[in-house]
Amino acid sequence: MGILWSRLKQRREMRKVLSKVGPTTHFAKHEAEYWMKIFYKDVPTGKLSEAEFVEYFGNFYTATDDRSKSTLARQIFKAFDRNNNGHVSLREYLMGMSTLLRGDALEKLEWSFILFDLDGDGLVSKEDMEGVLMLYNDLRMNKEGGKSDEQLAAIVDQEFNLIDRAGKGRLGKRQFIEGVSRSFRLLDIMPIR
């Protein structure tokens, strides 16, 4: 059960994932192989836990407060962990990277829906949306356009009400995707686009 064994196991899993989901990603074969190798370099077990992801993310962004970082990291983890079983597999990692780096508008909005559901109730409320945008602002990942928290909140407030015509205060996945895709102002402040 040494290094050699785990390398063999990794190689077998990479071949499997490549043949199963490789063609559905936006990566060429050599690109998919590149990202899978990166994954195994950081995660030799092939199972990335939420705690590991939060720690990795925290180390990556040094100059910000820990609470914002770990909250945002958990949201991003949720978007990667498609089958919601508490860890990100090689396959989920590859699909996630494909969406983040090369995804079309619909894929990115589907991803954003999970990312924005801050309280995890399966719907996106105005508070969810504001909350996640503020977290990105805390990390200064969303400084393009230089919007302050107050400006972001004002945009969300106005645009959310336009989408949420029935005034339910929460958007389902389809309503979120359709609504955001028609709102230039929201698209402009989306962290992933």
Q: 32: which residues sit within 8 A by CB, 6+ positions away?
A: 18, 22, 25, 94
Q: How far apart are alpha carbons 34 and 55 in whole angstroms?
A: 23
CB closer to Ca ion, 128 vs 159: 128
User: Please, are residues 41 and 14 in contact by the beta-carbon 8 Å criterion?
Assistant: no
154: exposed, middle or buried (C-beta count within 10 Å: 0-12, 13-18, 19+)? middle
Q: How far apart are alpha carbons 10 and 8 in whole angstroms?
A: 5
CB closer to Ca ion, 32 vs 123: 123
45 scored as a contact of Ca ion (CB under 5 A): no
Contact set for Ca ion, span 139-178 (CB under 5 A): none
Question: What x-and-dash track marks residues 69-108 binding Ca ion by CB under 5 A?
Answer: ------------x-x-x-----------------------
Q: How far apart are alpha carbons 46 and 162 in whole angstroms?
A: 43
CB closer to Ca ion, 86 vs 140: 86
Contact set for Ca ion, span 4-43 (CB under 5 A): none
Q: How far apart are alpha carbons 44 and 94 in whole angstroms?
A: 15
Q: Which stretch binds Ca ion (CB under 5 A): 2-10, 62-70, 119-127, 140-148?
A: 119-127
188 scored as a contact of Ca ion (CB under 5 A): no
Among 42, 55, 121, 149, binds Ca ion (CB under 5 A): 121
Closest approach, Cβ 93 to Ca ion, in A, equals: 9
For binding to Ca ion (CB under 5 A), which residues are involved? 81, 83, 85, 117, 119, 121, 123, 128
